[in-house]
């Protein structure tokens, strides 16, 4: 087997999403080497960023265009959040209108590194206001209803729901795998006599970019057996 096959496989799901006033950068750790064997010596990651000048001088293939944003240790990721094999990092204080791109390398303890995973270009937009959210207990689910009026220059693309069962643990990623298309949704993955905390965001398309709004206020729902009437 050639030596290059022993390095980590490329990260396949690098995602960059504007959420309110932040950019949420998330990815999953590769589980295999480039050659297909299980990866057993993942050391961490290097996350790079380049800012697009807009004057035609930027060059994605030029190493000097990229600067190191973060070195993330697999076991002690610091201010990058690790949940299982998922890593989440937030970038803040980004000027409106700034266009940027992100690149990620997975590193092995033996010194090898993966091929780069590169995000699409992201242009930061003014933050979008939060939607409203209401909850109701049904016999077998919790029904959530959303209210939202998109900005004049934006088109609604759906909603995201965030849920937690422990107030001490933040809800980092949406509960739904894809944006919810309607103004109502039922959570059927609930258990009797448990409390759930829900918040929601709206996804809008503005100036060609899909942007997630600020989060709504959180609501507390106790799922319990309904009384017969």
Residues 43, 22: contact at Cβ < 8 Å?
no
Do 10 and 117 belong together in one domain?
Answer: yes
Last residue of a domain, one of 105, 123, 141: 123
In a domain, 229, yes or no: no
Do 22 and 118 belong together in one domain?
Answer: yes
Nearest to 52 by CA among 127, 116, 154, 120: 120
In a domain, 228, yes or no: no
Do 139 and 37 belong together in one domain?
Answer: no
Distance CA 1, CA 78 (A): 35
Do 29 and 113 belong together in one domain?
Answer: yes
Distance CA 1, CA 166 (A): 47
Burial profile 81-95: b = 16 or more Cβ within 10 angstroms, e = fewer = ebeeeebbbebeeee
In a domain, 219, yes or no: yes
Do 137 and 63 belong together in one domain?
Answer: no
Do 23 and 114 belong together in one domain?
Answer: yes
56-60, 64-68, 172-176, 211-215: least confidently modelled range: 56-60
What's the mean pLDDT in 53-72? 84
In a domain, 214, yes or no: yes
Radius of gyration of the chain measured on its C-alpha atoms = 21
pLDDT at 1 over 50: no
Distance CA 41, CA 110 (A): 7
Do 198 and 138 belong together in one domain?
Answer: yes
In a domain, 87, yes or no: yes
pLDDT given for residue 63 in this prediction: 83
Return the percentage of the chain with pLDDT > 70, whole number: 95
Please tell me the chain's helix, strand, coil percentages from 3-state DSSP, rounded to the nearest 5.
5, 45, 50
pLDDT given for residue 205 in this prediction: 96
Do 143 and 66 belong together in one domain?
Answer: no
Do 177 and 219 belong together in one domain?
Answer: yes
Question: How is residue 192 written in tokens?
Answer: 């009797």
Last residue of a domain, one of 78, 97, 123: 123
- Per the structure, the complete domain to which residue 21 belongs is given by 3-123
Do 114 and 28 belong together in one domain?
Answer: yes
Residues 47, 89: contact at Cβ < 8 Å?
yes
Do 86 and 197 belong together in one domain?
Answer: no
33-42, 153-162, 190-199: least confidently modelled range: 33-42
Torsion, Cα 101 171 127 122, to 10 degrees, reads: 10
Question: How is residue 179 written in tokens?
Answer: 């944006």
pLDDT given for residue 4 in this prediction: 62
In a domain, 25, yes or no: yes
Last residue of a domain, one of 123, 157, 174: 123
Whichever domain contains 11, its CATH number is 2.60.40.10
Whichever domain contains 136, its CATH number is 2.60.40.2060
Write down the pTM of the prediction. 0.88
pLDDT given for residue 229 in this prediction: 56
Residues 33, 39: contact at Cβ < 8 Å?
yes
pLDDT in tens, 112-155: 899 999 999 999 999 999 999 999 999 999 999 999 999 998 99
């Amino acid at each position: 087997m050639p030596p290059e096959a022993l390095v980590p496989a490329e990260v396949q799901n690098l995602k960059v999403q504007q959420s309110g006033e932040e950019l949420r950068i998330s990815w999953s750790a590769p589980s295999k080497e480039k050659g297909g064997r299980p990866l057993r010596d993942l050391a961490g990651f290097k996350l790079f960023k380049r800012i697009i000048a807009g004057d035609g001088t930027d060059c994605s293939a030029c190493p000097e265009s990229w600067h190191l944003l973060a070195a993330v240790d697999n076991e002690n990721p610091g201010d990058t959040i690790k949940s299982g094999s998922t890593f989440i990092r937030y970038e803040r204080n980004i000027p409106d209108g700034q266009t940027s791109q992100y690149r990620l390398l997975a590193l092995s303890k033996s010194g090898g590194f993966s091929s780069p995973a590169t995000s699409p270009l992201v242009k930061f937009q003014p933050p979008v206001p939060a939607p409203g959210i209401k909850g109701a207990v049904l016999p077998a689910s919790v029904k959530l209803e959303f209210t939202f009026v998109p900005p004049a220059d934006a088109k609604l693309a759906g909603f995201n729901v965030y849920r937690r069962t422990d107030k001490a643990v933040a809800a980092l990623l949406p509960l739904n795998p894809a944006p919810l298309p309607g103004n109502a949704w039922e959570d059927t993955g609930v258990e009797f006599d448990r409390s759930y905390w829900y918040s929601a965001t709206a996804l809008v398309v503005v100036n060609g970019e899909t942007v997630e709004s600020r989060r709504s206020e959180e609501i507390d729902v106790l799922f319990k057996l309904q009384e017969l009437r």
